[in-house]
Chain A
Amino acid sequence: MFILDSIMQLQKPLVIYNSWERIVFIINEFFPKKKSSDNFPPSFEQYFKSKNEEFKLNAEYLNNDFLWFYNRINEEHKFLGNLRHPLIHYNKSRETKGMRSAKFSKDFRSLKSLDIIIQQYEYEINFLKEELTNVDLGLMKSLNLIESWSILENKIP
């Protein structure tokens, strides 16, 4: 039992963010961002921004399922990205942004209010819980999107 569990734990970092990238990968397989042989899987943001641009004159493509994904870009996905970005992108500034726990230790004595920190922590946990539900929802919405776009493109045999 321990072998499989340990292998699973290796996937621990960055799992939620990757789930969204996988959902984009699915949609991109059928409706590629670039219609060329080099169909490199785009990021969540790249894909939906590009499709929004591509379909801006075809409003029927920008349906509720599309908007559900698109509106995430500046909401949930932005928050998720802000948590993830400093962890994996090294920065030149003097701030210890990447290792949030190190930054917390450094700033701990000068903290004015613990309540704000506790609230942020509570928010993060609830946010991640919500995101797990959203990933489940996103899987089905990705199929809705593929189906609605297929119908619009007269792909019915």
Chain B
Amino acid sequence: MNKDINLNQVVPAYFINQPEQVILRRRVKEITSLDFRYFYFDGEIKVERSLIFNVENENIYKINFVSEFLELSDKDNELVKVISDFNIEFFISYGDMNGDFKNPVVMGMDELTYYLSKKLNDKVVNEDSFPKLKSIKYQIEEKDFLSRGRQLRNKYFPEYIGPIFNILDFDSELKEIFAVSSSNLAFLIRFKDRVKGELSVSKNENYISNLNVYPRFNNAIAETASYI
């Protein structure tokens, strides 16, 4: 099958699925304030896909999708509006080119910036020297925090009925807190050299305003603060 024909069929299908449908609804809102439930692409469809960059073995593509007509219907399937020459731009990643196949991630610009930032943070977090939450990982020879905690509770405090060491609550909560801390710390590590460099350069400039654009040093201070 021709690659372009394939894309013509696949891209409209992205919008049927949640959560990708949000991107379409956001784009329609820019054109009309009319509320709609269902939508249909009609007429000729053109899809252009261009590679914008490669980050850590992952290709990020920009997709430009044009449909001759977009028909919007209400909850009773009554036609409320037809938009001609409907066009939408979005970004897509198929995951690590050398890794396992994953479902494509379809993103608007906002999600793309976050996606890239998270990807680069994760690279730092996955380095060996980065702190890991070892006490939560199940180890046979040495008991993990939750199973040992529950064992102690049952042994010494059989009357205790509180929430501590409830695996469903505590396990996910600890992992979540640790993940947030790790991601923020990774951000600081990523920008460390850059902000130091900018700090040295800024000292030679006459205007203080150049301190206020990301990732200038003072922004990194605020980032550190939010992490504490």
Contact = CB atoms under 8 A, between A and B. Distances in A.
Interface stretch (A42-50, A53-61, A67-75, A118-126): A118-126
Interface residues of A, number: 55
Interface string A5-19: 100110111111111
A104 to B, nearest CB: 5
Contacts of A121: 192, 195-196, 217, 220-221, 224
Given A17-B228, A136-B133, A143-B145, A125 B188 contact: yes
Contacts, number: 151
A125 B189 contact: yes
A80 B180 contact: no
Nearest to B148: A143
A87 B19 contact: no
A62 interface: no
| Smallest CB-CB A-B distances: 10 pairs | A101-B218, A132-B131, A150-B156, A155-B156, A101-B222, A133-B131, A101-B221, A139-B135, A104-B218, A15-B181
Nearest to B163: A29
B176 interface: yes
Contacts of B101: none
Interface of B (DSSP majority class): helix
B145 A132 contact: no
B180 A26 contact: no
Interface in B173-228: 174, 176-185, 188-189, 192, 195-196, 199-200, 202-203, 208, 211-212, 217-222, 224-228
Contacts of A105: 208, 211-212, 218
Contacts of A147: 152, 156
Contact of B203 (A2, A101, A104, A114): A114
